[in-house]
Structure 1
Amino acid sequence: MTSRLATATAPDAALALRLAEAVTAVDAPDVVLAVTHHGRRTTISGGHAPAPAVPRHALRYELGSVTKTFTVLLLAALARTGVLRLDDPLTAHLPDLPLRHPASRRITLRHLATHTAGLPRIPGDLIPSALLRPYTDAYATYDTERLLHTFARTRP
C-alpha cells in the first residue's frame, strides 16, 4: 500500500505521520484521510489498487450514512458553543438559495439533523441514473451546486 501527502506542506508533521500510518494499516483499494486542525488541512491518500487517473484526494467517494453521525456531532458542538442554533432556519446559513416553496424556508438545522424536514431520501433528479446503474456510485458526479439547485426546487 502506498500513501502520499496530498497537501503541499504538512502543517503538522506528527499528524501527517499518524495519518500515513493509518492509511498504511487499512487494507483497501482506495483510502483518503483528511484532518482539519486549527484551520489547516492535512490529507493523506493511498491504497493497494492501481493509482486512478484522478488523484485519490480529488475523487468523490460514496460514504452512505456514515457522515450523518459526524455531521450531527459537529452540529451539536457548534450549537453548544453558540456558533449557531439548532432552530436556525437553513436560510440563515444559505441566504442566497432561491427556495421555491414556502415550506422550504421553514426548514431548520434541527429538521435536517433529525430527518424531519420532509425532504426525499434521494434527490429526484438522481433517481433515473441510480435505477439505470444500480451498482455504480450515482453520487460520483453529483456536486454541491447540483445538490443545492435540486434542493431549491424540492417541495417538502
Structure 2
Amino acid sequence: MTSQIATIVACPSCAGLNRVPAAKLGAGGKCGKCHSALFTGHPVTLTSANFAAHSVKSDIPLLIDFWASWCGPCRQMAPAFEAAAAQLEPHVRLGKLDTEAEQAIAGRYQIRSIPTLAIISKGKEIARQSGAMPQGAIVSWARQALKI
C-alpha cells in the first residue's frame, strides 16, 4: 500500500490547518473547519491572528505584499498582486500585510520601504524585492525564487 504525502494548507478564511494529499493540491478542496475553499485565487489579508498559520505552519510558501493605504505605489501594484494570486496558487499563497495595522510583524521583518514583497516558507525568508512590480514580474520573480 502506498501512502500519499499530505501538504498542510492554512485556510484563507479561518486559518484552520488542513491536510491535503499533495497529488490533489491542484483540485482545491474545502476547509474541514469552516468549509470555505482552500484556494480562492485572491490574496489573504494577513493579521497577527492568522500570520503564523500561513507563514510558519502551512507547507505552502507565502508571498507577502507589505503595504500601506497611504502608499501610492502600493495601491498601484494591488491589482497586479491580486491577479498574480490566480496564477501562483496552489503552489504559493499570496497575502497582504498592512504595515500600519500590523507594525510588530513589519518590524520583525525589518520592512523599511513599501511596497516590499517577501517570500516566507516555514517561517524563514527565502527572497525579498522592494518596489512596485507588474503582474508578470511578480509571478516570474516568485517562480524563480521558489524554483517552480
TM-score by length of 1: 0.24
Which has more strand, going by share of residues? 2
Which has more helix, going by share of residues? 1
TM-score by length of 2: 0.25
Q: Which has the higher contact order (CA 8 A, sep 6+)?
A: 2
